[in-house]
Amino acid sequence: MSSITSSTTRLKTRNLVLLILKLSASGAMKGLFILLCLVQWSVSDVTGPYRLPTKCEVCKIFVHELKDRLVKLNEKKEVLRLGQGLDESKKKAVSYEKSELKLIEAIHEPHICDEIKKYNVHAERIGSLRYAKGMSETMSTLHGLKNKGVKVELGIPDELWDAPNAEIGQMTRECYTMVEDHEESIEDWYFGDQTQDLLTYLCRDTVLEGEEQECLNEKWTGVERVDSSSDKKTSTRLKGEL
């Protein structure tokens, strides 16, 4: 029942935003004022915590960020020399690419889970795709209206419009816990041959073993939105990928 209510609210908000754009273009300011009042009521649902992130979603985003960090660190082509004393020739040469230092930097400098604070809730998208970097369509539209001089009241200070909401905060905390609980598995993959993708190794076969894993198949192509026309087609397509 709650998921149906959330979907209905998201549709209602999108329709309100579209009407606002039409009224703004036509100069119907009285109708625009009324609709902005309605958006103030509904936008809190769009940007607020509909639900808590699932374990699947936390693992998926953690892996995405860790893989991205590792790729960026690969640009370092250094050779580390490990050992005591001043004689460099007696020290063991270790490639940075597979070094423990690289893994420490990837996870802790700064902590990889803090990257999640850069995410926003894109309530117009389905499933795990609701979590992405960048501004959501609804907030982008409202910012655009504000920049045009339209007074938009969301019930919060302007500087908090783009602050991480409760869902993002919860996902960040759960990410920290996941790293602590599965640090050994992450190290086993990293120091191993890495023939298995980290998403499969850590999420499918370890963290989510025997649990719901559907979110791992979800990919954003631009059509996976919460609406009556694409939602059914999207759900069918995703099921076919499992």
Residue 109 clears pLDDT 80, i.e. is over it: yes
- Render pLDDT for 48-91 as a digit per residue (tens, 0 to 9): 446 899 999 999 999 999 999 999 998 876 766 555 555 555 55
**Does 158 have pLDDT greater than 80?**
no
What global pTM score does this model have? 0.67
Within 10 angstroms of residue 119's Cβ, the number of other Cβ atoms is: 21
62, 183 contact by CB (below 8 A): no
Residue 198 reports pLDDT greater than 50: yes
Q: Are 81 and 92 in contact (CB under 8 A)?
A: yes
pLDDT tier at 146, thresholds 50, 70, 90 = low
Q: Produce one character per residue of 134-169: b if its CB has 16 or more CB atoms within 10 Å, e if not.
A: eebbbbebbeebeeeebebebeeeeeebeebbebbe
pLDDT at 64: 98
DSSP strand pairing (131-133 vs 119-121): antiparallel
